[in-house]
A = this chain, B = another copy of it.
Amino acid sequence: MVVILKNNPDEAQLQSLIHWLETKNIQVTQSLGESNHILGLIGDTSRIDMDLIGALDIVESVRRIQEPYKKANRKFHPDDTVITVKGTTIGNGELALIAGPGAVENDEQMLQIAQAVKAAGATILRGGAFIGRSSPYSFQGLGKEGLDALVKAGIATGMPVISEIMRISQLDYFKDVDIIQVGARNMKNFDLLKELGKSDKPILLKRGLSATYEELLMSAEYVMSQGNTNVILCERGIRTFETYTTNTFDISTIPVLKSLSHLPVVADPCHASGRAALVAPLAAASVAAGADGLMIEVHPDPTHALSDAKQQISPAAFADLAETLKTIRNTVKPQ
Task: Give Cα A210–Cα B245 distance, bound, in whole angstroms.
Answer: 15
Instruction: Establish whether residues A248 and B255, one from each chain, have CB atoms under 8 Å apart when the complex forms.
Output: no
A284 near B40: Cβ-Cβ < 8 Å = no
What 0/1 readout, one digit per residue, does chain A (128-164) give for beta carbons within 8 Å of chain B?
0000111111110000000000000000000000000
Residue in B32, B240, B255, B327 whose CB lies within 8 Å of A238 = B240
- Please tell me which one of the listed residues B31, B54, B324 contacts residue A31 in the complex, with CB atoms under 8 A apart: B31
- Chain A: interface secondary structure? mixed
Once bound together, how far apart are the Cα atoms of A186 and B189, in whole Å?
A: 7
Q: Mark A49-69, 1 if CB is under 8 A from B, else 0.
A: 101101111000101011010
* A57 (CB) vs chain B CBs: closest residue: B303
- Shortest CB-to-CB span from A45 to chain B, Å, is 10
User: In the complex, how many angstroms separate the beta carbon of A86 from the nearest chain B beta carbon?
Assistant: 29
A107 at the interface (CB under 8 A from B): no
Binds B, one of A117-125, A173-181, A305-313: A305-313
Closest chain B residue, CB of each to CB of A43: B33
Give chain B nearest CB distance to A205 CB in angstroms: 14
A sample of 19 cross-chain residue pairs with beta-carbon separation below 8 angstroms, ordered by A number, consists of A31-B40, A34-B42, A35-B66, A55-B310, A68-B137, A132-B190, A134-B188, A135-B218, A136-B190, A136-B225, A212-B243, A240-B240, A248-B250, A252-B273, A252-B282, A282-B289, A285-B285, A285-B289, A324-B332
For the complex, give the distance between the alpha carbons of A256 and B70 in Å: 35
* Contact indicator B277/A259 (Cβ below 8 Å): yes
Assign chain A's interface to a size class: 35 or more
Residues on B with C-beta less than 8 A from A240 are 238, 240-241, 248, 250
Query: Considering the chains assembled together, what is the distance between the CA atoms of A197 and B211 in angstroms?
Result: 28
Interface status of A46 (Cβ within 8 A of chain B): yes
A22 within 8 A of B: no
Do A134 and B55 have beta carbons less than 8 Å apart?
no
In the complex where A56-B303, A136-B222, A289-B282 touch, is A252 in contact with B248 (Cβ < 8 A)? Answer: yes
Residue of B nearest to A194 (CB): B136
